[in-house]
Amino acid sequence: MISCLCTSVYAGESIEGDWSGGIDFEKSWQPVNLHITAEKQNLSGTLDFPYQNRKGISLTKVVINNYQVRVEWQAETGLAVLAGMLKDDLISGEFTQDGRSAKFGLVRVAKVDPGIYEEYSGSYQISRDRFIDMGPLGDHIRFIDSKTRSTRYLYPSSETSFFSGPSVGIPFPVELRVAFLKNKQGKVSGLVWKENGSRPISGKKLPYKHEEVSYKYGDATVTAMLLIPAKPGPHPALIDIGQGYYSTRRGYG
């Protein structure tokens, strides 16, 4: 990843760290990852467009003044700008490039060891007939809600606190907060589930056992870890079929 030291103004609350979100073009969502570092009074950073497989785009300017944030980089068709307002762990505002504009939103993401996602894998009961099943998927942890049938990623705010947006791969705006609970032995025992506009719900983690499964896909062998309820069934099941993503070929970096 290539980065540059930018001529920057650094005042107010810090924006140092990693941010995940995207640009809303109404008919398509363009994911964006922003990485900001600080050295003395200078800010520098890089930008990623995952759907375009473009990473490490050098920022030419990073400014924060009275919670107003401005990020610039040189795109293929000219100067590109993210200009918005910092509030708590959110940055939202307007993206402009080559005479067009769109709204954007970013959420601060904590750096955590992906190994902890294994600890959170399993099934959580948050009501009599509602279960949240989750497990690691790449660099994320993904959940499926048995009641709403929604499936989304959880993004870390800390090692025990996570958030999610309105859909898979879209973390902004934040619509869900999840805090994992541990017992006296340090084992994950449950969670607190808080959706926007609703009261927090406490859920317990259900006991389960592991079973490795594999199948052939052409010449390759696909191996996965199956989490099975420890108690005898029958148990309800939900099949999740992964969805595709729309990606524009237009470059923004």
Supply the pLDDT for residue 169.
Answer: 79
Supply the pLDDT for residue 10.
Answer: 42
Segments forming the whole domain that contains residue 81: 4-109
Among 78, 93, 109, residue at a domain's last position = 109
61-65 and 9-10 as β-strands: parallel, antiparallel, unpaired? parallel
208-217 and 9-10 as β-strands: parallel, antiparallel, unpaired? unpaired
The enclosing domain of 129 has a CATH number of: 2.40.128.50
65 and 82 together in one domain: yes
Res 247 pLDDT > 50: no
> Is residue 242 assigned to a domain?
no
Supply the pLDDT for residue 213.
Answer: 85
Higher pLDDT pick, 121 / 11: 121
At 153, is the secondary structure helix, strand, or coil? strand
Q: What is the pLDDT of residues 54-81, one digit of tens each?
A: 999 999 999 999 999 999 999 888 899 9
Phi, psi for residue 98 in degrees, rounded to 5: 55, 40
Q: What is the pLDDT of residues 24-47, one digit of tens each?
A: 987 888 999 999 999 877 899 999
Supply the pLDDT for residue 239.
Answer: 60
What tokens were used for 148?
């709403």
64 and 30 together in one domain: yes
Nearest CA among 49, 47, 36 for reference residue 8? 36
- 94 beta partners: 83, 103
184 and 206 together in one domain: yes
Supply the pLDDT for residue 25.
Answer: 87
159 and 210 together in one domain: yes
17 and 80 together in one domain: yes
Q: What is the pLDDT of residues 190-239, one digit of tens each?
A: 999 999 989 999 999 988 777 788 888 888 888 876 767 777 777 666 56
| Cα distance between residue 111 and residue 237, in whole Å | 33
CA distances from 238 to 20, 80, 149 (A): 29, 43, 8
Q: What is the pLDDT of residues 81-126, one digit of tens each?
A: 999 999 989 999 999 998 889 999 999 999 999 889 989 998 999 9
Supply the pLDDT for residue 14.
Answer: 86
Supply the pLDDT for residue 98.
Answer: 87
C-alpha 19, offset from chain centre: 9
52 and 151 together in one domain: no
Domain count, the chain: 2
Supply the pLDDT for residue 39.
Answer: 87
pLDDT band at residue 9, thresholds of 50, 70 and 90? Answer: very low
Specify the pTM.
0.78
Nearest CA among 70, 35, 69 for reference residue 49? 35
